[in-house]
Amino acid sequence: MSANLRVGFIGAGKMASALAQGFIKGQAVKCASHVSASCPIADKHLLEHMKQMGCQTFHCNKELMDCSDVVILAVKPQIMPLVLPDIKSLVASKLMVSIAAGVQLAQLQADLNPDSKIVRLMPNTPCIVREGVSVFCSGPQVTPQDNATVKQLFGTVGQIDEVKESMIDAVTGVSGSGPAYMYLIIEAMADGGVKQGLPRDLAYKLAAQTMVGAGRMVLDTHTHPAVLKDEVCSPGGTTITALDMLEKSGLRTSIMQAVEAATKRCTQ
């Protein structure tokens, strides 16, 4: 990856902002001015955070393309058909990375041109604190050097893995949408703590750090979550009693159904 790599975002929503902040913090780019973003004038308020970070901003996608080596398509899936014709003639030498849920490589290739170097990637918002997880697949024109650039760039904001495209929608259901599931659980745990008399700030801190620690245990120990769960459960103790209640309320099934619903939504 070039030390002078310039990254542009077509679209300036929350995911683009999270990635931009993560790239700058992780020193994936030399300076904030090597990151740029564009959006229509009607959505100019979306560029304010980018400006505050020191990024370049545009209302013209062609201007952004001119000053970017890697272009991240960060618009909603339904907006993609409006954006691609505008940049079709400019993509030949660019590495294009789409983070639009459900938009397949073949569709992107057809709307741009057969020689386009296109990567389909699904990140998540914890990239902003460099604890994200991204998964990608590459089009036929993408070179090993391009793949290395993607891995190095997104590796600065968390973990990254290459998979078959057939897995990307399921990835969206697990990790793309997953932070929202985790926030809901954190909020519920904190509310439970407040109900039992804990101060609100302490309850959120305990719940959030417990989730961080549990995740780190799974990743660092390479131990099955069921084994780690059993290690916390003493016979007749508080934890197994709590887990009994969670099983009765259908937590496990609800989360599995949430992943399934998010995955299916990618194809609708």
The 10s digit of each residue's pLDDT in 14-46 is 999 999 999 999 999 999 999 999 999 998 898
pTM: 0.90
* pLDDT at residue 1 tops 80: no
State the chain's mean pLDDT as an integer: 94
Which residues carry a binding-site annotation?
10-15, 61, 74-77
Q: Report the C-alpha gap between 60 and 242 in whole angstroms.
A: 55
CATH number belonging to the domain at 177-267, selected among 3.40.640.10, 3.30.1330.20, 3.40.50.970, 1.10.3730.10: 1.10.3730.10
Question: Quick count: other Cβ atoms within 10 Å of Cβ 253?
Answer: 10
pLDDT tens across 182-221, in order? 999 999 999 999 999 999 999 999 999 999 999 999 999 9
Confidence of residue 268 (pLDDT cuts 50, 70, 90): confident
Show the CA angle centred on residue 36, arms to residues 35 and 37, nearest 5°.
Answer: 140
Residue 266 tokens, joined: 């990618």
Which residues carry a binding-site annotation for NADPH?
61
| Residue-level pLDDT at 163 | 96
| Residue-level pLDDT at 35 | 95
Two domains, one topology: 7-168 and 177-267 = no
Mean pLDDT of 64-73: 94
Mapped to the 3 state alphabet, what secondary structure does the chain carry? CCCCCCEEEECCCHHHHHHHHHHHHCCCCCCHHHEEEECCHHHHHHHHHHHHHCCEEECCHHHHHHCCCEEEECCCHHHHHHHHHHHHHHCCCCEEEECCCCCCHHHHHHHCCCCCEEEEEECCHHHHHCCEEEEEEECCCCCHHHHHHHHHHHHCCEEEEECCHHHHHHHHHHHHCHHHHHHHHHHHHHHHHHHCCCCHHHHHHHHHHHHHHHHHHHHHHCCCHHHHHHHHCCCCCHHHHHHHHHHHCCHHHHHHHHHHHHHHHCCC
In CATH terms, the fold of domain 7-168 is Rossmann fold (3.40.50)
Sorted by where each begins, the domain ranges of the chain are: 7-168, 177-267
